[in-house]
Amino acid sequence: MRDEVSLNLRRPDPLPGNPTGMKDANQMNVAPNPDTNSVGNHAMPSPGRAAYFECFSGASGDMILGALVDAGWPVADLEEALNAVDLDGWTLEVKPTKKGALRATQVTIRVAGAQPERTVLDIAPIIRASRLSETVKSRVLGLFDELADVEALQHDEAPDTVHFHEVGAVDSILDIVGAVAGLEALGVTHVFVSPINVGGGTVDTRDGILPVPGPATLELLRRRNIPIY
């Protein structure tokens, strides 16, 4: 039997959810385990630890980090993973919080000052030069490659030339690094996700006013066949 970790993403504020590259059971860019057993027409994954994200209030970087800390990842280890990346001008804040009757852990990465626009070619060397494990580096780079691909599709340009705005900021880079590092630290080999509450309305971005969820987010969800509501 696999050891399952249940991760409830409890939002400490009422903003709508914003998936940031999070994927379904076919991993958060975790390569499929080649050691599988076939039962009927279904491939059964090898034994390992599975994480289930219950996204009744959406999903965002800070929520995922909070869920991983709640699941047993020490805050000191989270900070060590973030410090492994050569990015300055940020602070980490972790504190207990409540939303209604639900207790949660709120993780916030605060960044001082304006952020430069970065392309995947700017971000990749930072990740490769980090002190993260090679597995975490590979998965983080894979996520940014996919983000560049979906953004390029929306803007009709080459992935290497796409300038990340919000997702290229220090806090977003560290959100992704922290999520991947936390899953590895907890020994998670398979990630499952509920239907995601994506919210609604509009949001003011550097690309102008966009619907919620944004086109790139919808494309990521479509590629993984993740149901939304």
Phi-psi region of 93 (alpha: psi -120 to 50; beta: other; left: phi over 0): beta
pLDDT at 4: 57
Grade residue 7 by pLDDT with cuts at 50, 70 and 90. Answer: low
Beta-carbon contacts of residue 7 (< 8 Å; ≥ 6 apart): 51, 52, 53, 54, 64, 67, 68, 70, 71
Q: What average pLDDT does the chain have?
A: 84
pLDDT at 152 over 90: yes
**Rounded distance between C-alpha atoms, residue 200 and residue 58, angstroms:** 11
Which residue type occupies 202? T
Supply the pTM of this predicted model: 0.80
Main-chain phi, psi angles of 21, to 5 degrees: 80, 5
Taking only the tens place, the pLDDT of each residue in 203-212 is 998 778 989 9
Report whether 22 contacts 64 (CB < 8 A).
Answer: yes
**Inter-residue contact 147 to 19 (CB < 8 Å):** no
Tens of pLDDT, residue by residue over 114-139, are 888 899 999 999 999 999 999 999 99
